[in-house]
Structure 1
Amino acid sequence: MVAKAAEPKRLMEFDNLPEGCIANILSFTTPRDVAALSLVSSSFRSAAQSDLVWDRFLPSDYQSILSENQSQFPNLSSKKDIFLHLCHKPLLVDSGKKSFALEKQYGKKCYMLSARSLSIVWADTPRYWRWISLPDSRFSEVAELVSVCWLEIRGWINTAMLSKDTMYGAYLVYKPSLMGRSYGFEYQPVEVTLGVAGESDPPKRTVYLDSAKPQRQSYHRHIIPRRSRTRYRLMAGVEAPAPLPARSSPEPSVEGRGGSECPKERDDGWWEIELGEFFNKGCEDKEMEMAVYEVKSGDWKGGLVVQGIEIRPKFNPFNSIKSN
């Protein structure tokens, strides 16, 4: 009974600390922790609104980022409002070629590279790719894949732009074209890599860009014949490239997809597939290169819309480090 009675007393003594002291303590936690601790008492709730707390959660260079893009950002009075706005409303930077945001739980930096900032083979050849605008994209343009036999997309980001001591993942963000139909990806995996630019052998994985699960349609292979693909391009007003020789190797079966990843649908209605991950120590200035390519099969593929590549934190729930 004595021990149980002592607990409320200790809590009450801690609650009676000056608000500035409580705010200073909260600033050494995380936004997620502050949200939980604000429920402890009125003193904690008041301290949780302090600019002292939220200034610690904002990245050290946030003022320069906002000043360079002031026309997009509303006039907000509190640091908490600035933090939450950057969590929910990505800010277009680099002349609209990238977007910047904060991750809500820990305040880590997130970037998305627009399709225009990527290197896409044949991107400026209308018979292969075309540039369109979509209302649900954060960028003014997205790249629609018309038809290619050589798919290659690359992007780069400097680690100095990101939060230190943080594990990051890179994700291709895309979806089917406006016609609602993609082809050439149903049973054909693509290769993805992520590593330091210039490395001779970055880690490589195979993934699938279509949304079908590996076990789906195991008894029926819905593959668009080469003639249909040509007809699809002609209907879209695109001149069909010369056909390639048929491959001697058989198409991989659906069961052969085991172990390879399929895309996931995001909350914003787009799809994403992970390209890889890396740990950013923050003490090195490195250029990370991400790539998506399918250049071996020779098959034609099309019907996807690429918004960009997103680089965002991945968290180990047992080892989260607060650092911007």
Structure 2
Amino acid sequence: MGANISSSVVDRDEGGGSPLKPRLGDIPESCAALVLAMLDPPEICRLARLNRSFHGASSADFVWESKLPSNYKFIVEKVLRDTTFLKLQKKELYARLCRPNPFDAVTKEIWLDKNTGGVCLSMSSKALTITGIDDRRYWTRISTEKSRYPTVAYLQQIWWFEVDGELDFRFPTGTYSLFFRLQLGKSSKRLGRRVCNSEHIHGWEIKPVRFRLTTSDGQSGESQCYLDNPGNWVLYKVGDFVVENPKALMNIKFSLTQIDCTHTKGGLCVDAAFIYPTSVAKEC
């Protein structure tokens, strides 16, 4: 048996010279593609630099179709409403969906985590329902370089603080985590340096804020914490939810409240709400 194996993988030239050993470049492109289909996207991109076989195999549609989320057609057709995406090669489609893709009048964004293909979403402060947002005595819109969006909502002072969000979406199977991104204080630049104006920060140390999440299939979660760390953007976790049926449209409602009217609170920036696959969220 050993002789048979040896003769099948090592040939000699016609003159009886040295053995001709198989090289990595001799692997058929179709076989290389089967190997790549078992790997994560970053590994595929690294192996594509090995040789021509792997480079050609790394563009195979079936390799990248397996990396796209199961709901990618829903994302393209129903969320982004741009069917031209479906004309792209699957590798190009994956790359395009890994970029931030705005939708809903540019108040929300969707993208894929480039390492896992997990679906990530963000909803700007303009996509959220904020009590008193149209009254400039309480709230203003300010621009910042630290957000995915042109502006964030800045609270100067209010008695009843409530921020609500709602989303209908079809998620791939898995566990997801929802966050609010908040900052105490108003950031600005002075002499080229980032500084935090803490003039209006007050009231958050008296009572904690409450986070709540519910889904249309009966899941719910609730937590509370005190806001702190002025001058820094912080992701405050609202809760987790599990998706078991990737074909079902799930409705998610979530909120952030501090409605104890015995005191005012202020000096808070509300940027956005984020939804990540829980495995991705651990790295954020």
Q: 1:134-177, CA deviations, whole angstroms, 9 ceiling, x for partnerless residues?
A: 233222332111111211111112241x3x11211111112232
Aligned position for 1:170: 178
Tell me if structure 2 keeps the 8 A contact 1:150–1:298.
no
Aligned match for 1:296, one of 236, 260, 268: 260
Aligned match for 1:306, one of 263, 270, 279: 270
**1:186 & 1:40 partners in 2: Cα distance?**
57
Distance 1:194 1:32, change over 3 A: farther
Distance 1:60 1:24, change over 3 A: farther
Aligned position for 1:23: 33
Aligned position for 2:226: 208
- Whether 1:196 aligns to 2:215 is yes
AA partner of residue 242 (structure 2) = F
Aligned position for 2:91: 80
Tell me if structure 2 keeps the 8 A contact 1:167–1:280.
yes
Aligned position for 1:280: 243
**1:55 & 1:114 partners in 2: Cα distance?**
30
Partner SS, residue 66 of structure 2 = helix
Counterparts of 1:231-310 in structure 2, within 5 Å, are 270-281=233-244, 282-296=246-260, 298-310=262-274
**2:215 & 2:88 partners in 1: Cα distance?**
40
Partner SS, residue 197 of structure 2 = coil
Deviation at 1:51, TM superposition (A): 4.0
Q: Which runs of 5+ in 2 are unaligned?
A: 10-21, 188-195
- Whether 1:127 aligns to 2:137 is yes
Distance 1:68 1:284, change over 3 A: closer
**2:166 & 2:267 partners in 1: Cα distance?**
25
**1:138 & 1:103 partners in 2: Cα distance?**
16
- Range with greater deviation from structure 2 (140-149 or 14-23): 14-23
**2:23 & 2:81 partners in 1: Cα distance?**
43
AA partner of residue 107 (structure 1) = G
AA partner of residue 101 (structure 1) = W
Distance 1:67 1:124, change over 3 A: same
AA partner of residue 253 (structure 2) = E
Aligned position for 1:148: 158
**1:66 & 1:159 partners in 2: Cα distance?**
12
**1:283 & 1:66 partners in 2: Cα distance?**
18
Deviation at 1:93, TM superposition (A): 0.8
Aligned match for 1:48, one of 54, 58, 63: 58
Tell me if structure 1 keeps the 8 A contact 2:80–2:103.
no
AA partner of residue 149 (structure 1) = W
**1:291 & 1:124 partners in 2: Cα distance?**
19
Deviation at 1:274, TM superposition (A): 0.9
- Range with greater deviation from structure 2 (136-145 or 151-160): 136-145
Greater RCO, CA 8 A, separation 6+? 1
**1:39 & 1:195 partners in 2: Cα distance?**
46
Aligned match for 2:197, one of 176, 180, 183: 180
AA partner of residue 284 (structure 1) = A
Partner SS, residue 274 of structure 1 = strand
Tell me if structure 2 keeps the 8 A contact 1:69–1:92.
no
Partner SS, residue 23 of structure 1 = helix
Q: 1:12-40, CA deviations, whole angstroms, 9 ceiling, x for partnerless residues?
A: 79985531343245335432453465577
TM-score by length of 1: 0.64
Distance 1:33 1:62, change over 3 A: farther
Tell me if structure 2 keeps the 8 A contact 1:20–1:47.
yes
